[in-house]
Homo-oligomer: A and B are copies of this chain.
């Protein structure tokens, strides 16, 4: 392993753990009926967003998905506004108008989640096109999963980014399912990064449960993009720890497979890094976790205490539409 500062490894751990806690606590809120609609947890996939976003500069961009909480947090999103949004409150990122599937955080360059699978792909390429026209060197990471690779816009977007050498990292979170459909049944070549070659796009596979592996590969890809030699396609193999959304028991996920990936829990791996390479103690880590737990509690408090959007104000707002 390369040498990383304790500070950096702690920072990664903080992000991973924050995502874990956010999802875990929100699932509780969902089961209490306080969150409604679709809620797609990122549990088990935390290392992808965390490693990828750690490779970015502050003025870079990301484009997220329906499973977007992890991306938002990894990019520096605020728990208060996130919780408030999934609770549908006026203080949320989208004033309660968007909900889980539409959180966007323009301040951190997070163009937003998307309810259309694959919808973010062309949008992200367009963000990069804007960069290109302006002559800047910002990089855009587009997150998407295996299912989105079968929406035609994946191939189109890959090709468009390629012919214009756009600074895009296509970050394929291959969690091996589109809802209940296993990637092996939806493509003859489940190693989806292999689609890159036909379009002349540099492509690699990486262990999506190992935050440092993701970080390192993304750094390389970002460098390539920054030099005007993009795009790069990265496939991070990972697995969900639960069903597609909160109400999906995920019975189609074979037990052994799930166990295998649970054993390779990204949080555990990152925790080990801290202990083995940064001389952190269990107590050090507990302190970090404690702090995050408290932040999340406060965020929930904030969300719950926030006002519902005013129906009257809303109706007035849309009068002029």
Please give the count of copies of this chain that the complex contains: 2
Q: Which A residues fall within an 8 A CB radius of B?
A: 150-156, 159, 162-163, 185-189, 194-201
- Residue contact A198 to B195, C-beta cutoff 8 Å: yes
Inter-chain contact A189/B195, CB cutoff 8 Å: no
Please, which residues of chain B bring their CB within 8 A of the CB of A185? 163
* Alpha-carbon distance A201/B188, docked complex (angstroms): 8
Cβ-closest chain B residue relative to A194: B198
Q: Is the interface of A mostly helix, strand, loop or mixed?
A: helix
B187 near A163 with CB under 8 A, answer: yes
Please give the distance in Å from A304's CB to the nearest CB on chain B.
43
Q: Are A189 and B194 in contact (CB under 8 A)?
A: no
Alpha-carbon distance between A162 and B187 when the two chains are bound, in angstroms: 8
- Contacting residues, chain B, for A201 (C-beta < 8 A): 188
Q: How far is the CA of A159 from the CA of B181 in the complex (A)?
A: 15
Contact partner of A152 (CB less than 8 A), chosen from B155, B162, B188, B200, is: B155
- Let me know if A163 and B151 touch, CB within 8 A: no
Q: Which 3 A-B pairs have the closest CB atoms?
A: A152-B152, A188-B200, A155-B155
* With A159-B187, A187-B199 already in contact, 5 other A-B pairs whose C-beta atoms are closer than 8 Å: A152-B153, A155-B195, A163-B185, A163-B188, A195-B198
Find chain B residues with CB under 8 A from A197 CB. Answer: 194, 197-198
- By beta carbon, the residue of chain B nearest A188 is B200
- A205 CA / B42 CA spacing, docked (Å): 43
CA distance A2 to B19 in the complex (A): 66
> How far is A187 from B209 in the complex, measured between Cα atoms in Å?
33
Partner of A198, one of B152, B153, B162, B198: B198
How long is the Cα–Cα vector from A187 to B199 in the complex, in angstroms? Answer: 7
